[in-house]
Amino acid sequence: MSFDLVLFGGTGDLAWRKLLPALFQAQRHGTLPAGGRIIGVARDDLSDAQYRALIASRFAAVEGDKRPSATEFERFAELLHYVRMDLSQGADYARLAAHLRARGADTVVMYLATAPTLFTTVCEQLGAAGLATPATRVVLEKPLGHDLASNRAINAAVRGVFSERQVFRIDHYLGKPSVQNLLALRFGNALFEPLWRRETVASIEITIAEQLGVEKRGAFYDGTGALRDMVQNHALQLLCAIGMEPPINAHADAIRDEKLKVLRSLKGWTPESLARDVVRGQYAAGQLAGEAVPGYLQEPGVAPGSRTETFVALRTEIANWRWAGVPFYIRTGKRLAAHEAHIAVHFREAPHAIYRTPMGAANRLVIHLQPRDGLALHLFAAGQSQRGPATAAQTLAPVQLDLDFDQRFGRERVGAYERLLLDVIDGRLNLFVRSDEQEAAWRWVEPVLQSWREADERGEGPRPYASGTWGPSAASALVAKSGHSWMEEV
């Protein structure tokens, strides 16, 4: 199957840091279909040779085994081409159309690695140039809008040119091997299904923690914040994967129908719950790995006195038969104590204790998402030093069954963008977000955004927290009110 992948924003940060390395790895692994072209599109005046040289210079900074050898890059460079375009000029789209029609690839992928403000313009121009054919697929990067209204406007404009089945809204968390293993854990094994419900689960925690600050993205981040950047998309998609009912099959719409039901079942916000169940924070100066780091307000590009949040912790519930009354805790932030993402399923204590266990301890299943990829099941067992059979007076010790997927399957596994790009080329929609999912997520977070705007007007900004910690102390109090704790506090 021949394909053309047109990369709008082909000289940008996302293209050379994520997309082109992912495509190179696919070629290295032998999974990239033969007969393909990768066409970078940008305003720079470059020839094909100059574009290949530019990408080669960026690839030279790649560390370790993922850096291509000279022979490997030479082979990959044969796929790279370049077209100079001003995305506001219809004549340039006509030139691109002629370039693509001259070859007539079976599949044409339009990857919009541009500012979201250009999505509508690019899609409308593609339609006007006759490039929205049945063979065309369009990939939209996040953030898709700034709120519900802007998200609807973008989706309406895109649907005016492309059908829903041609639109691939990408969330790279869904391409992570660990998230695929989460779905396999739930729906490929009978072991956990009887336990996956309110009768046995006490609480569920989703943590996406970063040690880095905003770095050079201060101007972008200051207009976005943690809720839009991480919760509205990544965290809610993980919540859907944990909370959804088994789909009738593995087809894209069957899976996405069940995710949509979860989003529509999230408890709505009230003034009381917004005040009680949401914590907003902003990192201050502190120590990280023994080095002093600046606070958010000292970062380049951040407006003086900014009230943008770099940390969010919240409590919610899925109001349905399976999960009624089970709290779901979401936490994400920058400049935290660790670079780590995990989902922790905390089980209820045994209904009748005949052994002593450590105070407050219970079984839990931890799905590690990054930097490691694996599962850990926390149980209790009699200590090795004990002689004879266990007795009721004996205190059991915690033990851990640990499965490291990198060790089990090897570290050279398919990365998130590599998997997602291959799925786009093959036309598989399972790991992509449907427009009604996005709208449901935006509808749920909007009351939180509105409450923060009102708090800002009252002079109540985000809570400061020292860099290198786990966020404001109010985040610990949030879970403690229900008798729970974050995983590092267990």
Whole-angstrom distance between the N-terminal and C-terminal Cα of the chain?
52
| DSSP-assigned states of every residue in 288-310 | ETTEEE--GGGSTTPPTT----S
**Domain termination residue (choose one: 169, 187, 205):** 169
Q: CA-CA distance, 140 to 166, in Å (whole number)?
A: 11
pLDDT, average across residues 251-276: 96
| Annotated binding-site positions for NADP(+) | 43, 86-87, 142
- Residues 182 and 137 grouped into a single domain: no
5-18 tens-digit pLDDT: 999 999 998 998 89
State the Cα–Cα distance between residues 274 and 412, nearest whole angstrom.
Answer: 44
Q: How many CA atoms lie within 13 A of 161 on its CB side?
A: 23
Looking at 169, 198, 225, which one is the last position of a domain? 169
Total length of the chain: 490
Do residue 383 and residue 453 come from a single domain? Answer: yes
204 shares a domain with 129: no
| In the predicted structure, residue 189 carries a pLDDT above the cut 70 | yes
- Provide the pairing of β-strand 463-466 with 311-316: unpaired
Q: Note whether 248 and 292 are same-domain residues.
A: yes
Q: Which two tokens stand for residue 165?
A: 């089945």
Tokens of 202: 């006490």
In this predicted structure, what is the pLDDT of residue 410?
67
Quote the pLDDT of residue 350. Answer: 82
Q: Supply the Cα-derived Rg of the chain in whole angstroms.
A: 24
pLDDT at 391: 60
Domain assignment of residue 419, yes or no: no
Percent of the chain at pLDDT above 70? 96
Three-state DSSP at 210 gives: coil
212 and 279 belong to one structural domain: yes
Q: What is the mean pLDDT of residues 183-191?
A: 86
Distance of alpha carbon 25 from alpha carbon 68, whole angstroms: 9
Which residue, among 9, 12, 86, has the nearest Cα to 41 in the 3D structure?
Answer: 9
Answer yes or no: do 116 and 40 share one domain: yes
In a domain, 420, yes or no: no
Binding residues for substrate: 172, 176, 210, 229, 334
28, pLDDT greater than 80: yes
Q: Are 490 and 202 in contact (CB under 8 A)?
A: no
The model's pTM? 0.92
The pLDDT score that the predictor gives to residue 415 is: 85
Task: Give the pLDDT confidence score for residue 268 in this predicted structure.
Answer: 95
From the number of C-beta atoms within 10 Å of its C-beta (0-12, 13-18, 19+), residue 454 rates as exposed
423 assigned to some structural domain = no
216 and 247 fall within a common domain: yes
Q: Residue 310: which of 327, 329, 331 has the closest Cα?
A: 331
Average pLDDT, the chain: 91
Q: Between the CA of residue 203 and those of 178, 401, 484, what are the distances in Å?
A: 21, 20, 8
Residue scoring higher pLDDT (412 or 199): 199
pLDDT, one tens digit per residue, over 190-230 is 888 889 999 999 999 999 999 999 988 898 899 999 999 99
CATH number at residue 333: 3.30.360.10
Residue 159 lies in a domain: yes
**SS3 at position 169:** strand
Q: What is the mean pLDDT of residues 125-150?
A: 93
List the CATH number of the domain containing 74: 3.40.50.720
Residue 393 clears pLDDT 70, i.e. is over it: no
Residue 453's SS3 state is helix
pLDDT of residue 179: 84
Are residues 49 and 29 both part of a single domain? yes
347-386: pLDDT as tens digits: 998 888 777 777 667 899 999 998 888 889 999 888 655 5
Q: Binding site, residues?
A: 43, 86-87, 142, 172, 176, 210, 229, 334
Structure tokens at 204: 């569920």
- Please indicate, yes or no, whether residues 95 and 216 belong to a single structural domain of this protein: no
Tell me whether the omega of the peptide bond preceding residue 143 falls within 30 degrees of 0, making it cis: yes
Please give the helix or strand (H or E) that residue 379 lies within, else none.
strand 374-381
Is residue 80 over pLDDT 70? yes
* pLDDT for the residue 360: 61
* Pair of tokens at residue 416: 């998130």
Residue 378 annotated in active site: no
Which of 81, 234, 342, 368 is labelled catalytic? Answer: 234
Q: Is residue 427 part of a domain?
A: no
Whether 129 maps to a domain, the answer reads yes
For residues 358 and 295, the model is more confident at: 295
Q: Which of 6-15, 27-36, 270-279, 359-368 has the lowest mean pLDDT?
A: 359-368
Asked if the model's pLDDT at residue 389 lies above 70, the reply is: no
* For residue 430, pLDDT beyond 90: yes
At residue 382, the pLDDT reads 81
Domain coverage including residue 157: 3-169
Measured between alpha carbons, how far is 434 from 125 in angstroms, rounded to an integer? 23
Which of 109, 143, 169 is at the close of a domain?
Answer: 169
On whether residue 428 sits in a domain, the answer given is no
Classify residue 370 as exposed, middle or buried by CB count within 10 Å of its CB (0-12, 13-18, 19+). middle
- Would you say residue 421 lies in a domain? no
Q: How do the residues of the chain divide into helix, strand and coil, expressed in percent and rounded to 5?
A: 40, 20, 40
CB 18 within 8 A of CB 111: no
Number of structural domains (the chain) is 2
Which pLDDT value is given to residue 105?
86
Same domain, 273 and 131: no
Same domain, 40 and 125: yes
| 133/202 same-domain check | no
**Residue, of 229 and 177, whose pLDDT is higher:** 229
Residue 151 confidence (pLDDT): 94
- Burial letters 466-478, b for 16+ CB under 10 A, else e: bbbbbbbeebbeb
Average pLDDT over residues 49-63: 88
Is the pLDDT reported for residue 176 higher than 60? Answer: yes
